């Protein structure tokens, strides 16, 4: 199991493939192991001629705006940027804050496994087939997920006013009808970043249920190839 030691912290990572480099940073409550649950199959991307490095963020066992922060603070280290299912900002963040803080409190009190079983009983819209929410939450580390959620929701606001400074080519992957990853976040990034493309899937579950489509568009963007104006197999999607 490869490990990189960064500032005294051991971070697990996986590396596969040859070609242009792609660093995959997972989001909140995720890890390298959970990437396939969201359609992110690094082996399928690597098979299309890309050198993929995926790592577990500190305290995790998926860090959406880690990439944006890196592009803003150290632009010389970023050649291209891919942002999948951006998290909520502004009014959308205020809407989901009580839910996430409640989740963090529940994990703190009863632990991840019991929390996972409780959440699994709640009605959910647009759940991807085969996605086990109980196992996903139950596999979290209490000591890591609670401060991570609270830090995200109570920390300083995202630097939306600085998005225009990101001059690198960017690909934003979004979908509709998801309050946790609202389409408005993807549209805002597309509007503010001068060299961004926006790929909107036809449904919230598209990326998880069409990993080959995700691997196709990601690998094509990394390799600098022209991306068609529709996602594979879905004419109702759009790329702008």
Establish if 186 belongs to a structural domain: yes
Establish if 118 belongs to a structural domain: no
**Which CATH number goes with the domain that contains 173?**
3.40.50.1820
Q: Are 70 and 166 in contact (CB under 8 A)?
A: no
Establish if 173 belongs to a structural domain: yes
The beta-strand segments (E) located in 7-147 are 9-16, 21-25, 51-55, 81-84
Q: Are 213 and 206 in contact (CB under 8 A)?
A: yes
Establish if 169 belongs to a structural domain: yes
The pLDDT tens digits of the residues spanning 53-98 come to 998 876 553 347 688 888 999 999 999 999 998 888 888 888 888 8
Choose between 27 and 99: higher pLDDT: 99
Establish if 35 belongs to a structural domain: yes
Give the count of domains, the chain: 1
Using DSSP, state whether 213 is helix, strand or coil.
helix
The pLDDT tens digits of the residues spanning 16-39 come to 999 999 999 887 777 788 888 888
Establish if 183 belongs to a structural domain: yes
The residues, ordered by sequence, that sit 6+ positions from 21 with a Cβ below 8 Å of its Cβ are: 50, 51, 53
pLDDT at 230 over 60: no
The pLDDT tens digits of the residues spanning 143-202 come to 878 887 877 777 777 788 999 999 999 999 999 988 888 999 999 999 999 999 999 988
Give 126: exposed, middle or buried? Use CB within 10 Å, 0-12, 13-18, 19+.
exposed
Q: What is the pLDDT of residue 229?
A: 60
Measured in degrees and rounded to the nearest 5, phi and psi for residue 47 equal -65, -15
For 74, the domain range is 3-91+155-239
């Amino acid at each position: 199991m490869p490990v990189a030691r960064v500032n005294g912290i051991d971070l697990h990572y996986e590396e596969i493939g040859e070609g242009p480099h792609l660093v995959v940073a997972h989001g909140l409550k995720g890890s390298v192991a959970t990437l396939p649950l969201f359609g992110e199959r690094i082996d399928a991307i690597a098979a299309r001629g890309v050198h993929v490095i995926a790592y577990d963020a500190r305290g995790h066992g998926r860090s959406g705006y880690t990439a944006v922060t890196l592009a803003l603070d150290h632009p010389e280290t970023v050649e291209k940027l891919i942002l999948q299912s951006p998290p909520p900002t502004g009014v959308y963040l205020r809407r989901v804050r009580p839910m996430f803080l409640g989740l963090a409190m529940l994990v703190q009190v009863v632990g991840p496994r019991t929390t996972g079983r409780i959440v699994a009983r709640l009605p959910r819209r647009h759940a991807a087939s085969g996605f086990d929410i109980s196992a996903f939450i139950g596999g979290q580390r209490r000591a890591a997920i609670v401060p991570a959620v609270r830090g995200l929701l109570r920390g300083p606001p995202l630097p939306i006013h600085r998005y225009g400074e990101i001059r690198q080519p960017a690909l934003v992957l979004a979908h509709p009808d998801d309050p946790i990853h609202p389409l408005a976040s993807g549209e805002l990034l597309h509007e503010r970043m001068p060299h961004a493309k926006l790929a909107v899937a036809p449904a919230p579950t598209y990326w998880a249920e069409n990993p080959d489509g995700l691997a196709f568009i990601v690998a094509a963007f990394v390799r600098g190839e022209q991306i068609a104006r529709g996602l594979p197999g879905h004419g109702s999607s759009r790329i702008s």
